[in-house]
A and B are shown apart, each in its own frame.
Chain A
Amino acid sequence: MTDAAELRRRTRELLAAHPPAATGRPDFLRARFDAGLAWVHYPEGLGGLGAPRSLQAVVDAELAAAGAPDNDPRRIGIGLGMAAPTILQYGTEEQKRRLLRPLWTGEEVWCQLFSEPGAGSDLAALGTRAVRDGEDWIVNGQKVWTSSAHLARWAILIARTDPDVPKHRGITYFVCDMTDPGVEVRPLRQITGEAEFNEVFLTDVRIPDSRRLGEVGDGWRVAQTTLNNERVAIGGTPIPREGGMIGKIAATWRERPELRTHDLHQRLLGLWVEAEVARLTGVRLRQQLVAGQPGPEGAGMKLNFARLNQEISGLEVELLGEEGLLYDDWTMRRPELVDFTGRDAGYRYLRSKGNSIEGGTSEVLLNIVAERVLGLPAEPRTDKDVAWKDLAR
């Protein structure tokens, strides 16, 4: 078993062999991956040492203290959080060896080709078709809400390979090369003015069968690995008191006494309390995880996060009065990083509207809480035993 002392020793060896000050960033990150110190819970040879996940903090602390560069995880969140666990669980040895190293170092950015104009909450109804042609699959369709598509080398893709069976059974999971000539990426402009996301048009894209993840027709199950990791990623990070959106409005309130009214004061205090309670709920959830008793509260964290972001940023625009009539900049741009609490209040207000839609709508999450936590009856289903091609659309 690899323990903390062993990891510390290996980390120091890495630092000695590749002094950060004298090593280029990509070289250092590659060396770190090869030393098994990228994600220590991954297997040996794939950036890890098969160590407990909790020991990653030991390595990170040593490296941070030595001023070593990191892989800028915020920029490659889809690769790290969604593609990598799926590749690890379902990929062939060859796929893991080819894909995981540049994924982790950030040399190859990943995006996710899941949602479609006709398949949002009902993702399993997706209509992008993949048809077998010898050793390849020919893919045609349209995907949407794809962050980083314009930067990505690879995509995780789900497509319909069998329209004659019920929708959950006819889906297959692929790795798609975004440099293929049939892939066209168009920015999708949002209400904020910028284009964080893209539409991706797939026209006769040729994907070798060797880039399939999991069995033919088993793509829905494979996608669950991806999606479960997404929900962990959103709304689950620890925050201090007044972290997040409430800290922004609280600062404005303290700095700008001339904006204060009694009505705004009451509403601000109400939201401050709710944000503090949501924070405590998150603290409690993490304490449960640490104690090995994961609670169902996780299902609700994103619901809280979305509603509070929206209400708090909405109040902030109102608090600003005349300034609330302004907006910092409508220029169309394609940001690499998204910060929900970034820019000004108007941006925060508009961007937070997406929080109750992206990564599972609040309405779907309420169904999940009602059914899986409270055990209430599932929604009546008319789509389970019908071939995908016969579904209403």
Chain B
Amino acid sequence: MSAQPEPALLYSEEEEALRAAVRDLLTDHCDPAGVITRTESAALHDLPLWKSLADSMGLAGLLIPEELGGQGATHREAAVILEELGRAVAPVPYLTSAVVATEALLACGAEDLLSELAAATTVAALAVGLHVAPGGAAAEARLENGVLHGELTGIADASAADVLLVPADDGGLYAVRSADATVTPQVSLDSTRPVARVSLDGVPGRRLGDTGPAVRRALRAGAGLLASEQLGLADWLLAETVRYLKERRQFNRQVGGFQALKHRLARLWLEVAGLRAAARSAADALATGEDTDVAVAAAQAYAAQVAVHAAEEALQLHGGIGMTWEHPVHLYLKRAKADAIAYGAAGTHRAVLAELVDLRAP
């Protein structure tokens, strides 16, 4: 194959500073016990935390140009935020609003809404099922007499959104105020990124642009940066499991001294190191526009197995405590498993790669 440009896979000093700021905030305001409690409350999203991140720290507008009130940063910085949000399984609509919906709005040039998102006065959600891969088929609303009808399901973070970006059967993407639609939470495997049913019963919408390129761009960015969230999950799970196995004693020994367990953790470390390289590669490719489709598909073809494996290993190696509601490992397992479906399963991304790198099916 032809030589690829070498992606920049390290973290810059600025990126590390951003990470430290986000981690400080999450350490103070997003502890695991609080996240567990919230999964059984009426307000699944942590809106005070979101306000701190989006408004006080200005992170909602990271990908939005400065002239629209955003920060004009790149996917590399957004990826660092997602690593930290993954580490904390934070129940905030960052990926769905500040990345996916934002990318769709950028594709449509919807400057008024972008300004609202940057100012953190509005949360948006793309009304495409969370399972849909870039380029995949999504359900559409019916446009009849200028108003929208239909039911769209599996819409992540819709219950936190003020504006829904709805694909309609005329090929257009429409902005719909949530207040005009009926958003019904679905009982979700991952309560920290809950999905909802959006019912449209003759609802007015504003056509923003064509669905195809906007949704494709949005989902590609979502898929690529999801890898950084998955890295954050896996990184926390590995570190926490190593910490616990050094502390836990059975048979008058630290459990982490048994070779059968050491080798499992060493293999997991190797997988996480690989995911870090793959996730940085996808984030850098989204930022530079070089080799983006391959980098995103490769990262998503790899990331889910690592995050899920990390969660499954963490649960098993924690023993009985890992099976309890009280211990946070289940939050990570549920998020990792849902992430394995989000923006296309690994097999879907492998099929995309088969075309991109000319390894065709029989």
| Interface set of A (CB-CB < 8 Å, partner B) | 240-242, 247, 250, 253-254, 257, 260-262, 265-266, 268-270, 272-274, 276-278, 280-281, 283-284, 287-288, 291, 293, 297, 300, 303-304, 363, 366-367, 369-371, 373-380
Contacts and interface: CB of A to CB of B under 8 A. Distances in A.
A240 B5 CA distance: 10
A277 B298 contact: yes
A311 to B, nearest CB: 14
Contacts of B40: none
B6 A283 contact: yes
In this complex, the member of B276, B350, B359 whose beta carbon has the largest number of chain A beta carbons within 10 angstroms is B359
23 contacts: A257-B360, A265-B361, A269-B301, A269-B353, A269-B359, A272-B357, A276-B298, A277-B302, A280-B280, A281-B276, A281-B277, A283-B9, A284-B10, A303-B270, A366-B263, A366-B266, A366-B267, A367-B262, A369-B269, A373-B269, A374-B242, A376-B262, A377-B253
A366 to B, nearest CB: 4
B9 A376 contact: no
A253 B242 contact: no
Interface residues of B, number: 45
Nearest to A369: B266
Nearest to A278: B274
B246 A376 contact: yes
Contacts of A367: 259, 262-263, 266
B136 interface: no
Contacts of B6: 283
B212 interface: no
Interface string B1-35: 10110111110000000000000000000000000
Interface in B236-269: 242, 245-246, 253-254, 256-257, 259, 262-263, 265-267, 269
A273 B298 contact: yes
Interface of B: 1, 3-4, 6-10, 242, 245-246, 253-254, 256-257, 259, 262-263, 265-267, 269-270, 273-278, 280-281, 298, 301-302, 347, 350-351, 353-354, 357-362
Contact of B277 (A260, A266, A283, A369): A283
B278 A377 contact: no
Contact of A291 (B10, B257, B298): B10
Contact of B362 (A265, A270, A370, A378): A265
Contact of B359 (A253, A277, A291): A253
Contact of A281 (B254, B274, B360): B274
A369 B270 CA distance: 9
B242 A376 contact: yes
A369 B277 CA distance: 18
Given A303-B270, A366-B262, A376 B257 contact: yes
Contacts of B347: 266
A68 B278 CA distance: 40
A56 B239 CA distance: 40
B10 A287 contact: yes
A241 to B, nearest CB: 5
A212 to B, nearest CB: 37
Nearest to A261: B362
Contacts of A373: 266, 269
In this complex, the member of B6, B242, B269 whose beta carbon has the largest number of chain A beta carbons within 10 angstroms is B269
Contacts of A304: 270, 274
In this complex, the member of A274, A284, A291, A297 whose beta carbon has the largest number of chain B beta carbons within 10 angstroms is A284
Contacts of A380: 257
A269 B350 contact: yes
A249 B358 CA distance: 13
Contact of B10 (A261, A273, A288): A288
B266 A241 contact: no
Given A257-B360, A378-B257, 16 more contacts: A262-B361, A269-B301, A269-B351, A270-B350, A272-B357, A273-B298, A277-B274, A280-B274, A283-B277, A300-B270, A367-B262, A367-B263, A369-B270, A373-B269, A376-B256, A380-B257
A387 to B, nearest CB: 26
